[in-house]
Amino acid sequence: AMQKTELVIFLRPIVVRDASVAGDYRGYREQLPSDDFLDDPQARERRLPTLEGLAR
């Protein structure tokens, strides 16, 4: 017989009052690249976000 699987995703709606890294998105500020990100190719490789950094 056939077995069916389902993927169920629950989304939690939030109200964003200040859509900036100084406001509601301040928790993501540390994941932004530095000002010299495009100048230094090695910096691009070092600063890639990891899954551990995203799961908070």
CA dihedral 26, 28, 34, 37 (to 10 degrees): -150
Query: One digit per residue, pLDDT tens: the chain, 56 residues?
Result: 889 999 999 999 999 999 999 999 999 898 888 787 777 777 656 666 666 655 55
CA–CA separation, 12 and 56 (whole Å): 15
